[in-house]
Amino acid sequence: MSACSPSAQAFDCGQPGIDLWLADYSEASSPCLQAGMRQLLNDSERAQQTRFHFADDRLRYLVTRAMVRTVLSRYAAVAPSAWEFTTNAYGRPGLAAHHGIPALRFNISHTRGLIALAVSAGRALGVDVEHVAARAGASGIASHFFSSVEAAALASLPQEQRQERFFEYWTFKESYIKARGRGLSLPLDQFSFHFPDPQAVHISFDEGFDDADPQRWCFWQSRPAPGYLLALCAECNGGNAPTITVRKVLPLVNESLVDATWLRTSAAMQQQSRR
């Protein structure tokens, strides 16, 4: 398939669950492909891309916007260039109301080298991906953003394990606040993640926090590529964990299914799988 031609492959979006799309934006090195992606953007997005000083940031922004537009067009009869977006009071992006598909939810995260896009119907969801290898020393901010329970658990680990554990906490916390659509307006130190065993996670809330139902949320964590950590949070909708389908995509070129290996999942989901 030509790098300058859009994929003609149809996508069946009628299945329930969550689709997680991953892109290595360094693969979009072709000037022809970049020109094709740029044609999908609106004037504001094109102007925003030029404002980035570094070439890597310009490419990441371009592929992110092209990815959002082309992927969303798999779920509705809207051309990639025709999508219009809004943001809520906390900066969370969403679809303009005139598209008439309020149930279609999506969330984006990107870091050096990798973009993640989660899409679902009727579920609040949030995703966060971090390039762990590029963020040395990040554990020093735990005392400012983590709950006392999390900070104490982190401090109890040997020094060589703290960097990885920091990002395990951080990606979960980011995915949760993004699913809530409130961003950093939510106090990060008033909810805690717990790891009751090496493959499980659950969330708890301090008294007075504005979410009193830990069972409302399902969580997943994976290593999508060496040196990266990704967390996904979504509403369970009645206690039934949604299925996750993971695809790697290069906008306008190709896509492929990915076998996902989850490092951690919600403890309640693990109990369901044992029944």
Beta bridge partners of 111: 114
In a domain, 257, yes or no: yes
In a domain, 11, yes or no: no
Per-residue pLDDT at 237: 83
Per-residue pLDDT at 139: 61
Domain count, the chain: 1
Dist CA 87 CA 92 (whole Å): 5
In a domain, 129, yes or no: yes
Per-residue pLDDT at 10: 44
Give average pLDDT by consecutive 10-residue segment, the chain, 275 residues: 41 70 98 98 98 98 99 96 94 91 94 98 95 72 88 92 94 97 91 96 95 93 97 88 94 96 80 40
Per-residue pLDDT at 6: 40
In a domain, 81, yes or no: yes
Dist CA 230 CA 168 (whole Å): 8
How far does the chain reach from its first CA to its final CA, in angstroms?
A: 45
In a domain, 12, yes or no: no
Residue 156 exposed, middle or buried by CB count within 10 Å (0-12, 13-18, 19+)? exposed
In a domain, 1, yes or no: no
Q: What is the pTM of this model?
A: 0.92
Q: Domain containing 132 — which CATH number?
A: 3.90.470.20
In a domain, 16, yes or no: no
In a domain, 9, yes or no: no
- Tell me the residue range of the domain where 105 lies: 25-274
Q: What string of H, E and C letters represents the secondary structure of the chain? A: CCCCCCCCCCCCCCCCCEEEEEECHHHCCCHHHHHHHHHHCCHHHHHHHHHCCCHHHHHHHHHHHHHHHHHHCCCCCCCHHHCCEEECCCCCEEECHHHCCCCEEEEEEEECCEEEEEEEECCCEEEEEEEHHHCCCHHHHHHHHCCHHHHHHHHCCCHHHHHHHHHHHHHHHHHHHHHHCCHHHCCHHHEEEECCCCCEEEEEECCCCCCCCHHHEEEEEECCCCCEEEEEEEECCCCCCCCEEEEEEECCCEEEEECCCEEEEEHHHHHHHHC
Per-residue pLDDT at 7: 41
Dihedral pair phi/psi, residue 205, rounded to 5° = -125, 140
Dihedral pair phi/psi, residue 43, rounded to 5° = -60, -40
Dist CA 99 CA 77 (whole Å): 10
